[in-house]
Amino acid sequence: MVEEAESDALARWLQAAVDDGAELVSSMLLETIDLAELPPSLFHQAGTLPGTGLRGLDALHLTSAVRLGVTGVVTYDDRRSRTAEALGIPVHRPVPAA
């Protein structure tokens, strides 16, 4: 993991979410699950997301989030944030305390 200016704020936010009983999905979980082939319909749906300039893997992430019915995403990427919000997915962007 790369240490960023927001890393401590993110760690505190994640811990608070877990303490409140939130169920988190993280790319770090990939170490414990098998990878599966994605259905063609997921790629098609990813290609129809609103907005411009969204990268392919970001589109697949957000499409998967929609299909999973997530209650929010954590991202610091502006394009991913705009698209998530356009899809009605709340965006969380923990920032360091001032």
Contact call for residues 54 and 92 (beta carbons, < 8 A): no
State pLDDT tens for residues 49-60.
Answer: 987 789 999 999
State pLDDT tens for residues 16-35.
Answer: 888 888 777 665 555 666 66
What is the rounded CA–CA span in Å between residue 96 and residue 98? 6
Q: Mean pLDDT over residues 64-71, rounded?
A: 88
**What is the sign of the dihedral through the CA atoms of 57, 19, 15 and 29?**
negative
State pLDDT tens for residues 41-51.
Answer: 999 999 999 87
